[in-house]
Amino acid sequence: MTDLIRSTATEVVGLLRAGDVSPIEVLVALEEHVFATDKAVNALPIRFFDAARAAAGQLERDRPTPTDRGWLAGLPVAIKDYNDVGGQLTTSGSPIFADAVAVESDAMVRQVEVHGGIPYAKSNVPEFAGGHTYNTIWGATRNPWHTGRSAGGSSGGSAAALASGSAWLATGNDLGGSLRTPAGYNGVVGVRPTPGLVPRKRPPVPFDALWVEGPMARNVADAALLLDALAGPDAHDPLTRERPARSFVEQLDRVPEFLRVGYTPDLGVLPVEREIRDVTERSLSHFRDLGADVTGEAPDFTGAYETFQTLRAQFLATVRGDLLETDRHRIKDDIIWNLELGLTQSLADVQAAERARGELVHRTMDFFADHDVLVVPSAPLNPFPVEWTAPSSIEGTPMRTYVDWISITFMITLTACPVVALPCGLSGEGIPVGIQLVGRPGSEGLLLGVASAFERAVGIAEQLPIAPRELG
């Protein structure tokens, strides 16, 4: 079944729809690979293959015709451990929830299940959205390209599972870069959609637009497939809306005849390693080959760092602040600091941050009045040693907090723009370097089309270290 494991999600779905393989046969092949491979990576610490086989059997009984089984047709899907799968653990990487079992699947996971996806494992996460995927329950997830390095986070488990062949598709979510950083570090694809495209887990702050759910995959076409399965409305998420009339898979050949691309290596305000700048700048030639006009223009992100830190702290304190009274001794120090910041910062600080975010949104929309895409690195440095909590400095600039090193993604979060993150080349050590393709709200189809054409030129998806012997 090695050929099946190396096949793309789109190819396996094609086999499932044709009846050439059954959902249970696909699960058996995947289970064998996970048990052979994941011990070197630790991407999927929570596994429930028996329940997955039962769900696959039920799908076959309920929908006996393979072509009636939805977008995913019985394909297994890895679910990030911040999301609920009915009857399974949702630990969020915290000892507080080490034994928490979800009563039912949440809104995004229901979309997976309704469209024929079979959850079979939960992917590893950092405690409460810290930037690097490690926790005291399951340990650290390792980068399959170099197992001594970080897989990024917080969707590091999903990204590492994809890169190592232990998933064809995986879910993620993104507040500060949780889809985008690990996509770049692991040589896979992550899509941060426009807020409201994908329903969220019964959002505790329903009108918040910082946090979104989204797909992760080994390539752009597979990410479009999962986005088609995830998109749709949910009564508990007031930002959601009806799915687009035209599928994202159908838009993969969508590249405008005239494409204007802006590029910034650092958003004008951030330290970025020289090698990251060099690799991303070289990759711009692929956009020019598409006929794009590449400029050095970008929105002004002055003040965005402080704005995001304030709004993120406000969000975390709103959602998790009560845990300081009940479980402070079981929360890691970085999270305690972040929660306390949210609980103690002034109303004036939050009001100033809201105004600043509004100004940034307007500057960004002005930029997109004459640009189609903004290209930015997805991380300011190469994957760091897996034992680190976070980098202490970048290019000689000290990092003040445990999430400073993902500023290049979290500042983009403030704009509410969709982003496709994907690899653009390899570092001198042979580890992927990634970029973010940013577009105006609602432009996922265009971004996926441009990303698909770019991906064919770069060709990293074919090099993923899927076999155990290849994991370094």
Per residue in 101-135, pLDDT tens?
999 999 999 999 999 999 999 999 999 877 899 99
Say if residues 20 and 78 touch (Cβ distance below 8 Å): no
Q: To the nearest whole number, what is the mean pLDDT of the chain? A: 96
Average pLDDT over residues 247-253: 96
Per residue in 255-270, pLDDT tens?
888 999 999 999 999 9
Say if residues 391 and 132 touch (Cβ distance below 8 Å): no
| Cα radius of gyration rounded to whole Å, the chain | 20
Say if residues 75 and 52 touch (Cβ distance below 8 Å): no
Confidence of residue 1 (pLDDT cuts 50, 70, 90): low
Q: Which residues of 95-109 are buried (b: 16+ CB within 10 A; e: fewer)?
A: bbbeeeebeebbbbb
Confidence of residue 472 (pLDDT cuts 50, 70, 90): low
Average pLDDT over residues 354-370: 98
Say if residues 69 and 116 touch (Cβ distance below 8 Å): yes
Per residue in 166-202, pLDDT tens?
999 999 999 999 999 999 999 999 999 999 999 999 9
Say if residues 440 and 369 touch (Cβ distance below 8 Å): no
- CA distance linking residue 255 with residue 452, whole number of Å: 9
Say if residues 76 and 52 touch (Cβ distance below 8 Å): yes
Q: pLDDT value at position 256?
A: 87
* Whether the predicted pLDDT of 329 surpasses 90: yes
Per residue in 67-98, pLDDT tens?
999 999 999 999 999 999 999 999 999 999 99
Q: pLDDT value at position 2?
A: 64
State what percent of residues in the chain have pLDDT above 90.
96
Q: pLDDT value at position 131?
A: 82
Task: Supply the pTM of this predicted model.
Answer: 0.97
Segment (H or E) for 424: strand 419-426
Instruction: Name the residue with tokens 């497939």.
Output: 225
Q: Which residues of 239-277 are buried (b: 16+ CB within 10 A; e: fewer)?
A: bbeebbeebbbebbebbeeebbbbbbbbbeebbbbeebb
Q: pLDDT value at position 469?
A: 64
Q: pLDDT value at position 128?
A: 84
Helix, strand, or coil here: 321? coil
- The Cβ of residue 403 has, within 10 Å, a number of other Cβ atoms equal to 24
- CA distance linking residue 205 with residue 99, whole number of Å: 25
- CA distance linking residue 195 with residue 203, whole number of Å: 12
* Tokens at 464, concatenated: 């993923």
Say if residues 6 and 165 touch (Cβ distance below 8 Å): yes
